[in-house]
Amino acid sequence: MTGTAQQVIAIRDLGRQDYVPLWHAMQRFTDARTESTRDEIWFTEHPPVFTMGLNASKEHLLAPGDIPVVQIDRGGQVTFHGPGQLMIYPLLDLRRSAMGVRTLVTALEQSVVDLAAEFGIDAASRADAPGVYVAGEKLASVGLRIRRGCSFHGMALNVDIDLEPFTRINPCGYEELAMTDLKRLGIDANPDKVWPRLLPHFLHHLGLSDADLEHNDDGLPAATRD
């Protein structure tokens, strides 16, 4: 992927957003894209919600309680999103950049591995299960959707999140999978501080640099708003 004028990426720090409206905004953005639409990366957090992927089995939803459950259109099983979890949504035209899905998944995973290494944490991805793990515990989860050659949904990085809701499900379809976050690994951080440190690693693995960015502080694009 090279930094041409058409491939400048808009970066949006969206703060905390309700899950369903933002999911619909991603869908609208993807459906309205043209060949000249610039790529974007959205950073956000969500209020508590369980999301079920396209092929998710309800047997992995053990006891959701009062937390909403949303059936969505990404890959993967069931997971939890909540405050203190950084969501990274890469809205990329993969066909234009000749990027494979595996390359995008690897870029997302390796960006977390590199970030963890900054803090002296030995993290790694797994060939049999997407995501990033530390000593067998899951730190980040990946779930994408590709439509019209473009990506949406993305990665959830646990920064400083209540892990109790993960005990109400089989995370990502795995029984007794333990979850962790940066806080429990000794890193005092919040999503607002983490995403600017994660972004350079992600860009590096996409073959981009800061010179290819345009930062937007005005929220969502107008075409994606209800």
Per-residue pLDDT of the chain (226 residues; tens, 9 = 90+): 444 334 689 999 999 999 999 999 999 999 999 999 999 999 999 999 999 999 888 999 999 999 999 999 998 899 999 999 999 999 999 999 999 999 999 999 999 999 999 999 999 999 888 999 999 999 999 999 999 999 999 999 999 999 999 999 999 888 889 999 999 999 999 999 999 999 999 999 999 877 678 888 778 887 687 7
Residues 86 and 194 sit within 8 Å (Cβ to Cβ)? yes
Q: Which domains, and CATH codes, for the chain?
A: 5-208+211-218 (3.30.930.10)
Nearest in space to 41 (alpha carbons), one of 220, 161, 225, 223: 220
Which residue of the set 107, 108, 156, 172 is catalytic?
172
Q: For 180, what's the count of Cα atoms within 13 Å in the CB-facing half-sphere?
A: 18
E-assigned strands of the chain?
9-16, 40-45, 49-52, 69-71, 78-81, 85-91, 124-126, 129-134, 137-147, 150-158, 213-216
Q: What is the pLDDT of residue 6?
A: 47
Compute the distance between CA of residue 153 and CA of residue 221 in angstroms, rounded to an integer: 16
Q: What is the pLDDT of residue 220?
A: 87
Could you tell me the two tokens for 68? 């909403």
Active site residue 172: yes
Q: What is the pLDDT of residue 7?
A: 67
Nearest in space to 144 (alpha carbons), one of 220, 42, 73, 52: 73
Residues 9 and 208 sit within 8 Å (Cβ to Cβ)? yes
Compute the distance between CA of residue 72 and CA of residue 87 in angstroms, rounded to an integer: 16
